[in-house]
Structure 1
């Protein structure tokens, strides 16, 4: 009976995580929005180039945070990113349309320029 319960719970967890629109790693993270306004700092790592970015991000309420993250390619100038931040580090990011940036964050990003 115990085995059946454990298997059922495992199946339920797998099913829920597969149906979730949000990757498990981003659960509990804070979303910040940034606008790419520099080329990043290029550096070599294990025979390939990476780019380091340090920039100010803003959440939906306009709270700011200095964010540091890297990318495997140079990010597009003027692009907006939604950055997931948790436990003192950037977990992941994705490019979003300007219309998807919350109004308060958008205003602060425009003031920053």
Structure 2
């Protein structure tokens, strides 16, 4: 009886830990290459009609991006809102070209070679 209670307790701890882990980890970033870019321009506004009749607005950006070594690649990605002009972004890229996620970073977080190119 005691062994089965311990086993059930261990399973519950593993399940709760797994749920907490999945809530705090963005799987779109796991295993992705990192590129840095700076927002220049307003992006191209696109409107998609949803099945319920609503309108979904997105902004598409095509910008040069740089890996930590300063190698350039032009990447295309979209956002649900217009991004702040001159903001620095960290792009998460899978399959060499698919931007799966992004986050804004401060200029002091840029790798040295990237900062030299973007500033």
TM-score, structure 1 length as denominator? 0.78
In structure 2, how many angstroms separate the alpha carbons of the residues matched to 1:19 and 1:41? 32
Q: Structure 1 stretches (4+) deviating beyond 3 angstroms?
A: 10-13
Pick one of 43, 46, 67 that aligns with 1:43.
Answer: 46
Partner of 1:14: 18
Structure 1 residue ranges without an equivalent (≥5): none
**Alpha-carbon deviation of 1:15?**
6.5
Partner of 1:109: 118
Structure 2 residue ranges without an equivalent (≥5): 1-6, 50-54
In structure 1, how many angstroms separate the alpha carbons of the residues matched to 2:34 and 2:17? 24
Partner of 1:76: 84
Query: Over alpha carbons, which structure has the higher Rg?
Result: 2
Aligned length: 107
Are the equivalent residues in 2 in contact too, given 1:17–1:24 (CA < 8 A)?
no
